[in-house]
Amino acid sequence: MSAHQNSTPSHNQLDTKAEAWSALFSEPMSDLVKRYTSSVFFDKRMWQADIQGSLAHAEMLSVQKIIAAEDFAAIQKGMAQIAAEIEAGSFDWKLDLEDVHLNIEARLTQLVGDAGKRLHTGRSRNDQVATDVRLWLRGEIDLIEGLLKELQRSLVEVAEKNVDVILPGFTHLQVAQPVSFAHHLLAYVEMFKRDAERMLDVRRRVNVLPLGSAALAGTTYPLDRERVARTLGMEAVSQNSLDGVSDRDFAIEFTAAASLCMVHISRLSEELIIWMSQNFGFIKIADRFTTGSSIMPQKKNPDVPELARGKTGRVVGHLMGLITLMKGQPLAYNKDNQEDKEPLFDTVDTLKDTLRIFAEMIGGQLNPATGAKEGGITVNADNMRAAALKGYATATDLADYLVKKGLPFRDAHETVAHAVKLATQKGVDLTELPLPELQAFNPNIEADVFEALSLEGSLNARNTLGGTAPAQVRAQLARNKARLG
Ligand code: ARG
């Protein structure tokens, strides 16, 4: 006789999965297989969603007279106690009960008897887990949205103080044209704004109720699925039971949006790392985000941005994992889907931590005594300016100047190339060439050329929508501040 056949469950208690499964099984699961198949030690983090979903289901069952009102009352009472136990850390999670769903249901039955056993009427773990993941992820998306706003606010605050700070803009990491530091930071605000929009768009498709799909084909009980959706604040009810229990495209989509957000963080990290190297010296980040070296006493390493760049690989890896998890699955539910959780959870954790830490590293921390933020990045405007003065960053401005004097742009471009060549040979900036030498390239050049060739002149001239002219940057700052509240 096997252990399963021997086990005689008490009437209000399921202690092991074997007991949950019925008498059909003729041999016990080995410990290795139990460990391999169980998910409780990671999916227990969805316990609140699981209880919330169960209560909405039970309430509907009682309204539909599928279970008695007393049963619903007992389920409510039992769930309140379970929630208190989990919060207090006294809930006894059992590996034998495989996952969060069976653990909670078993405890409920232990507490309230038959009412607990009625909870699973018209429901399967397949639609239950799909509902739980969606409910849980919806809450996390809302937190991420808030954190993305915080990060944007930090960037805007630093930008506001640096509209007139000029640094070289790069293409191919070669000095290209001077830009306002605020303009540079606002580029990231645009990226994080789109990331937040993507999150909200994903949220609409996450916020759909699969419960009522049952195992795969729907159920014989007269469920009111719309009522459950309303109770749970979900925007729609899934329209096909096979699809409802099986697809995890919403998790893939979320991880794709998270990956893009991390890619933006990673690009910003790369810039911070470059800017704080001694060869650039554009910024400093506060010591609490850096570490020293065990051998080189002079070192301060940008560990946080480097780790964020590294963790981007991890999140993109989760996207690959999830999308590959889905690709071979026939309809409907397959146990493969249990593997959706760890990558999804880790994506959420990594993204949230990263957003939080970046908002603080860039914008600083609020000092409640002064009401001001402290300890954000420090900007070295002199070093930025010196770098912008190297590499003929205003050469395009000389070409534009000549175009305004009537030269076709291509000819102007060629003329400036000669001027840059001469300046390079002499080891000076374009502004350091005497006027007669410049006039030798084109007689229309006059003394006002030096204003056009200055960093400020170059910025001011780029006064088109989205350009780096301080007037434009101030308009963008105002727009973003109004939007971010
Ligand atoms: N722990 C399972 C999961 O995460 C719950 C659903 C199990 N369903 C089943 N038919 N075995 O997917």
Per-run averaged pLDDT (10 residues), the chain, 485 residues:
41 56 84 96 98 98 98 98 98 97 98 98 98 99 98 98 98 97 98 98 98 98 98 98 98 98 98 96 94 82 96 98 98 98 98 98 95 95 96 94 95 96 94 95 95 96 98 98 96
User: What pLDDT, on a 0 to 100 scale, did the predictor assign at position 54?
Assistant: 99
- Residues 114 and 18: their CA atoms lie apart, in Å, by 19
Q: 338 in ligand 1 pocket by Cβ < 6 Å?
A: yes
For tokens 């030498």, the residue is 437
- Which residue's alpha carbon is nearest to atom 12 within ligand 1? 338
- Which residue's alpha carbon is nearest to atom 2 within ligand 1? 338
Mark which of 310, 344, 374 sits at the end of a domain: 374
User: What pLDDT, on a 0 to 100 scale, did the predictor assign at position 13?
Assistant: 53
Q: Which residues, at least 6 apart from 201, have a Cβ–Cβ distance to it below 8 Å?
A: none
Residue 447 near residue 435 (C-beta atoms within 8 A): yes
Looking at the structure, tell me whether residues 331 and 393 fall in a common domain.
no
Return mean pLDDT, the chain. 95
Q: How far is the CA of 95 from the centre of ligand 1 (A)?
A: 14
Looking at the structure, tell me whether residues 343 and 457 fall in a common domain.
no
Give the pair of three-digit tokens for residue 58: 């039970």
| Amino acid at position 181, single letter | F
Q: Is residue 71 part of a domain?
A: yes
Q: How far is the CA of 326 from the centre of ligand 1 (A)?
A: 15
Q: 17 in ligand 1 pocket by Cβ < 6 Å?
A: no
End-to-end Cα distance, the chain? 69
Looking at the structure, tell me whether residues 334 and 390 fall in a common domain.
no
If one residue of 22, 41, 126, 331 were mutated to test the ligand 1 pocket, choosing by the most ligand atoms within 8 A of its CB, it would be 126
- Which residue's alpha carbon is nearest to atom 10 within ligand 1? 126
CATH number, domain containing residue 405:
1.10.40.30
User: What pLDDT, on a 0 to 100 scale, did the predictor assign at position 407?
Assistant: 95
- Residues 127 and 155: their CA atoms lie apart, in Å, by 42
CA angle 56, 60, 66 (to 5 degrees): 135
Residue 362 near residue 374 (C-beta atoms within 8 A): no
Residue 157 near residue 361 (C-beta atoms within 8 A): no
- Residues 258 and 253: their CA atoms lie apart, in Å, by 9
Q: 39 in ligand 1 pocket by Cβ < 6 Å?
A: yes
Residue 308 near residue 266 (C-beta atoms within 8 A): yes
Q: Is residue 226 part of a domain?
A: no
- Residues 335 and 483: their CA atoms lie apart, in Å, by 44
Bridge partners of residue 168, in order along the sequence: 178
Cβ burial, residue 172 (10 Å; 0-12/13-18/19+):
exposed
Looking at the structure, tell me whether residues 190 and 246 fall in a common domain.
yes
Q: In the 8-state DSSP scheme, what is residue 330? A: P
Range of the domain at 328: 127-162+185-220+233-374
Q: How many other CB atoms are there within 10 angstroms of residue 410's CB atom?
A: 10
Looking at the structure, tell me whether residues 116 and 43 fall in a common domain.
yes
Looking at the structure, tell me whether residues 369 and 414 fall in a common domain.
no
Residue 128 near residue 332 (C-beta atoms within 8 A): no
Q: Is residue 4 part of a domain?
A: no
Q: Catalytic residue numbers? A: 172, 293
- Residues 52 and 211: their CA atoms lie apart, in Å, by 12
Looking at the structure, tell me whether residues 249 and 293 fall in a common domain.
yes
User: What pLDDT, on a 0 to 100 scale, did the predictor assign at position 305?
Assistant: 97
Q: In the 8-state DSSP scheme, what is residue 294? A: S
If one residue of 102, 335, 340, 344 were mutated to test the ligand 1 pocket, choosing by the most ligand atoms within 8 A of its CB, it would be 335
Q: Is residue 179 part of a domain?
A: no
User: What pLDDT, on a 0 to 100 scale, did the predictor assign at position 19?
Assistant: 58
Q: How many other CB atoms are there within 10 angstroms of residue 328's CB atom?
A: 8
Looking at the structure, tell me whether residues 94 and 199 fall in a common domain.
no
Looking at the structure, tell me whether residues 415 and 280 fall in a common domain.
no
Residue 461 near residue 471 (C-beta atoms within 8 A): no
For tokens 């391999």, the residue is 36
User: What pLDDT, on a 0 to 100 scale, did the predictor assign at position 334?
Assistant: 98
- Residues 455 and 395: their CA atoms lie apart, in Å, by 11
Looking at the structure, tell me whether residues 207 and 282 fall in a common domain.
yes
Looking at the structure, tell me whether residues 201 and 320 fall in a common domain.
yes
Q: Angle at which helices 341-363 and 125-160 pack, to 10 degrees? A: 10
User: What pLDDT, on a 0 to 100 scale, did the predictor assign at position 8?
Assistant: 43
Q: 125 in ligand 1 pocket by Cβ < 6 Å?
A: yes
CATH number, domain containing residue 108:
1.10.275.10
Q: In the 8-state DSSP scheme, what is residue 375? A: S
Residue 285 near residue 291 (C-beta atoms within 8 A): no
Domain count, the chain: 3
Residue 310 near residue 250 (C-beta atoms within 8 A): no
Rounded to the nearest 5 percent, the helix, strand and coil shares of the chain are 65, 5, 30
Looking at the structure, tell me whether residues 348 and 424 fall in a common domain.
no
Q: Is residue 364 part of a domain?
A: yes
Mark which of 320, 349, 374 sits at the end of a domain: 374
Q: 127 in ligand 1 pocket by Cβ < 6 Å?
A: no
Residue 207 near residue 134 (C-beta atoms within 8 A): yes
Q: Is residue 8 part of a domain?
A: no
Q: 347 in ligand 1 pocket by Cβ < 6 Å?
A: no
Q: 442 in ligand 1 pocket by Cβ < 6 Å?
A: no
Q: 179 in ligand 1 pocket by Cβ < 6 Å?
A: no
- Which residue's alpha carbon is nearest to atom 3 within ligand 1? 338
